[in-house]
Structure 1
Amino acid sequence: MRIKIDRFVVAIIVVIAIAYFFPQWGVASSPVPLDLISAIGIALIFFFYGLKLSPQKLKAGLGNFKLHLLVQACTFLIFPLLVLLFRPLLQNETHEILWLSFFFLAALPSTVSSSVVMVSIAKGNIPAAIFNASISGILGIIITPLWMGLFIDDMQSDFDFTQIYTKLVVQILLPVILGMLLQRFLGDFVQKHSKKLTLFDKSIILLIIYKSFAESFSDGLFASVSWLDLLLIWGGVLSLFAVVFWLTGSIAKWLHFSIEDQITAQFCGTKKSLVHGTVFSKIIFTGMPGLGLVLLPLMLFHASQIMIISAVASRFARRVTEQEVL
C-alpha cells in the first residue's frame, strides 16, 4: 500500500525549517511587514467565506446548539480537566512550571482562521465553524484568565483586551458580513475560483506559521531544552491532542451528528490559538521566570495540530469527492 504524503504538511515542515535558518524576516525588526500582510490575508479569507455563505445557510449553522455546546465544552472544559488530572503528580518547581504550561495550553481558546480553513478543506459545516471559532476567541478572553487564576496567585486582572476585540471585529466579523452582503453579486466568482482561493488560504497559514516560529527561534525559545525534553513534551502534546480528538469524535457520533458537523466539532474543538496564547502569556505570566518553557507546549501543539488536521482534512475531502463521483 502506497502512502500518499500530504503536500501541505510537507510545506509546513519546509516553512519551519526556513524559519530556523532565516528567522530575520519574521521578527519585529524585519523590513517585511508580515503582520500587515497576514492581517490583510486573514481578512480576505473571511471575506471570501462570507461570499460563500447565504443568510439562510448561516442561520441554519448558528441554530445547531448541540454542535456549539460540544465545541466549546471540548475547548474550555474537557481540555483543562484532562490536564488537571495530572496535577497530583507534581514533585518540584520544574514539574510545576511544566504542568502549568500544559494547563495554559489547555485553557486557551480555539484558533479562528485555520479552524475555518481546515473545515472548508474537509467539506465540513463552514457556518458553524465560523460561529464557533469566532465565539471561542471572545469566551477565551474571560475563561482563560479565570482558569489560570486558580493556580497563579499574583495574576493581574486589570488589563485591556481592546486590541483583541478590535482585531476580532476588523479581521473576521466585518469581512464575513461584507462578503455576505456581496454574495449575490460575487458568489459565482468564488465558486468558479474555489481551488485558487484554497491555495490562497493555505499560503496565509504558512505565512503565519513562519512568523510564529521565526520569532521563537530568534528569541532562543528552544535553546535551554534538550532533544529528549523536547521529545517528551511533544509526546505529551500529541497524546493530549489525540485523546481530545477521539473524545470529540466519539461524542459527535453518539449524538448522531452528520459527517459535516462531526468534522466541525473535531476540527474546532481540538485546536488552540497561538495568537491568543502569546498575548495572554505576556499578561498572565508577567515577571515569572521560565516563560519560554511555558510557551513551548503551545508552540509544539500549534505545529502538530495544523499538520495532523491538514492531513485529516485532505482525507475527508477526498472521501467527499469520491462519493460525488459515485
Structure 2
Amino acid sequence: MPGGTRILSMGFKSLLDKLKIEPYVIALFGMVVLASVLPVRGAAAEGLSVIVKLAIALLFFLHGAKLSREAVVAGVTHWRLHLTILAFTFVMFPVLGLVASKLGVLSSTLAAGMLFLCCLPSTVQSSIAFTSIARGNVAAAVCAASASNLFGIFITPVLVSVLMHTQGGAAGGWESIQDIIVQLLLPFILGQLARPLVAKWVEKHKQLVGYVDRGSILLVVYAAFSEAVVGGIWSKVSALEMVVLLVACCILLAIVLAATTYGARALGFSKEDEITIMFCGSKKSMATGVPMAGILFPGPTAGVIVLPLMIFHQIQLMACSVIAQHYAKRPSEIVEA
C-alpha cells in the first residue's frame, strides 16, 4: 500500500508538471471547495473579516518592504516601453472587458467579474520570471510590473467606479477608494519607509515571506467564498456558465497576447522589449485583485467576482510558461535583432 500511494503521488505530481499547474493553484481551488463544504458564519465570520483585513495589510506591507527604491525609480528613462505596457493594462484590457460584459453570454455578476479582472494591474513575480526565462529585458520588466501594481492601487478603483457605474453596478465611489488607500496603499508606504530596518530580514526569510504572501491570498479567497456560499453562490452559477467563463477567459488572453506581441513589433521595439511588453502587458495580478475585490465588492458578491480572475490566472500561467520556453529556444545570435 505505501508503495502504491507513493506511485500515485508521483503520478499526480507528473500530471501537474505536464499541465503546468502549480500546487498553489490547486490550493486556491481547494479553498473554494472548503468554503463550499464548511463556510464560516455568524460571529466567526465577523472575526475572520478582521483577520483578513490584518492579513491584507501585512501582505501589502511586505510588498512595500520587498520593493527596493532602485526598482521603483529604475528604467523610468524607458518611458515609451512603460507607457505601452500601461496602455495595454489599463486601456485596452478595460475596453475588452467592457465589450465582453455587454455581449450577454455571462450572468451580470460574472460579467462584472470579467470587467473587474480587466481593470487590475499586472503581476510582478511571474511577469519578471517569464521575462527572465524568455531572455527579455528583465530590468524593464521589474520596473514595469512594479509601476503597474503601484499605479493600480489608484487606477483600478477609479476604473471600477467609472465602468461599473456604466454597468449599473454599485462598486466604486470615494468610500471604496478610501478603503483601498487605508488597507492597501498605507501599508505599502509603511513597508517602503520601514525598508531600511526590515529589508535584510525580509531578504533572509524569503521563504517565510512567500508563505505569508500566499497564505494571505488563500485566507481572503476562503473568506470571500464562505460569504458567497452563505449567500447562495452555487444556485446562481451553473456548470454551463463556468464553461462559458473558461472559454471567455481563453479568448481574452489570446487577444491580449496577440495584441501585445504584434503591437510591440509594429511600434519597433527590440525582441527583448517585445517579450517584456507581452508578459507584463497580458497578465493580471491575483495578489492585488483578490484583496481589492473584498474591499470594492463587500458581501457574497466578492466570491463570484473573483471567479474569472482565478480562472484567468491559471490560464495565463499555463500559456505564458509555454511561450516563455519557446522564446528561450531562439538562437542567441538573433537576441539583439
TM-score, length-scaled by structure 1:
0.70
On the 8 A contact 1:8/1:310 being kept in 2, the answer is no
1:54-75 CA-to-partner distances (Å, cap 9, x unmatched) read x334321444423432333223
Question: Hey, what does 1:286 align to over in structure 2?
Answer: none
Aligned partner (choices 311, 316, 325) of residue 304 of structure 1 = 311
**Which residue of the other structure, out of 79, 82, 91, is the alignment partner of 2:93?**
79
- Higher mean displacement: 204-213 or 312-321: 312-321
Q: How many residues align?
A: 300
Instruction: Go from structure 1 to structure 2 and tell me whether the alpha carbon gap of 1:25 and 1:167 turns closer, same or farther (over 3 Å shift).
Output: same
Paired with 1:201 and 1:110, the residues of 2 have a C-alpha distance of 17
Question: Post-superposition shift, 1:134?
Answer: 1.8
Q: Aligned pair in 2 of structure 1 residues 308, 207: CA closer, same or farther (>3 Å)?
A: farther
**Using a 3 Å threshold, how does the CA distance of structure 1 residues 245 and 68 change in structure 2: closer, same or farther?**
same
| Stretches of structure 2 lacking an aligned partner (at least 5 in a row) | 1-13, 133-137, 330-337
Q: How does 1:36-185 map to 2 (within 5 A)?
A: 36-50=53-67, 53=68, 55-85=69-99, 97=108, 101=112, 104-105=115-116, 108-110=119-121, 115-119=123-127, 122=130, 125-152=141-168, 161-179=177-195, 181-182=196-197
Instruction: Assess if the C-alpha contact under 8 Å between 1:121 and 1:198 holds in 2.
Output: no
SS of residue in 1 equivalent to 2:89? helix
Partner of 1:34: 51
* Matched letter for residue 84 of structure 2: L
Q: From the superposition, tell whether residues 149 and 119 of structure 1 become closer, same or farther in structure 2 (CA, over 3 Å).
A: same
SS at match of 1:244: helix
Deviations 1:32-63 (A, max 9, x none): 8431442243134314413xx2x334321444
Distance 1:218 1:96 in 2: 19
Paired residue type of 1:131:
A
Counterpart residue type for residue 39 of structure 1:
I
**Mapped pair 1:203 → 2:219:** no
**1:73 and 1:60, CA in 2 relative to 1: closer, same or farther beyond 3 A?**
same
Encode CA deviations 1:138-167: one digit per residue, 9 max, x unaligned.
123333333344454999967563222222
Instruction: Specify every segment of 5 or more residues in structure 1 that has no aligned partner in the other structure, as ranges.
Output: 284-290
Question: Following the alignment from structure 1 to structure 2, what is the Cα–Cα distance between the partners of residues 131 and 106?
Answer: 18
Matches within 5 A, 1:272-287: 273-281=289-297
Change (3 A) 1:225 1:308: closer
Which of 228, 243, 249 pairs up with 1:216? Answer: 228
Question: Which residue of 251, 263, 275 corresponds with 2:279?
Answer: 263
TM-score between both structures, scaled by the size of structure 2: 0.68
| Letter of the 1:65 counterpart | W
Alpha-carbon distance in structure 2 between the residues aligned to 1:32 and 1:280: 14
CA 1:193–1:261 in 2, change beyond 3 Å: closer, same or farther?
Answer: farther
- Counterparts of 2:244 and 2:190 in 1: how far apart (Å)? 42
For the residues of structure 1 that align with 2:101 and 2:186, how far apart are their CA atoms?
Answer: 39
Aligned-residue identity in percent:
17
Determine if contact 1:72/1:132 at 8 Å carries over to the other structure.
Answer: yes
Q: CA RMSD in A?
A: 4.4
Change (3 A) 1:126 1:30: same
Q: Which amino acid aligns with 1:301?
A: P
- How far the C-alpha of 1:133 sits from its partner, in A, is 1.0
Question: For residues 41 and 308 of structure 1, do their structure 2 counterparts lie closer, same or farther at Cα, with a shift above 3 Å needed?
Answer: farther
Q: Give the 3 Å change call, closer, same or farther, for CA 104–146 of structure 1 in structure 2.
A: same
Alignment partner of 1:231 out of 243, 246, 249: 243
Aligned partners of 1:154, 1:309: CA distance in 2, in Å? 29
Give CA-to-partner distance per residue, 1:237-264, whole Å, 9 cap, x none. Answer: 3322342244334434653316556433
**Contact 1:58–1:127, Cα closer than 8 Å, also in 2:** yes
CA distance in 1, matches of 2:72, 2:86: 18
Question: What does residue 251 of structure 1 align with?
Answer: 263
Partner of 2:253: 241
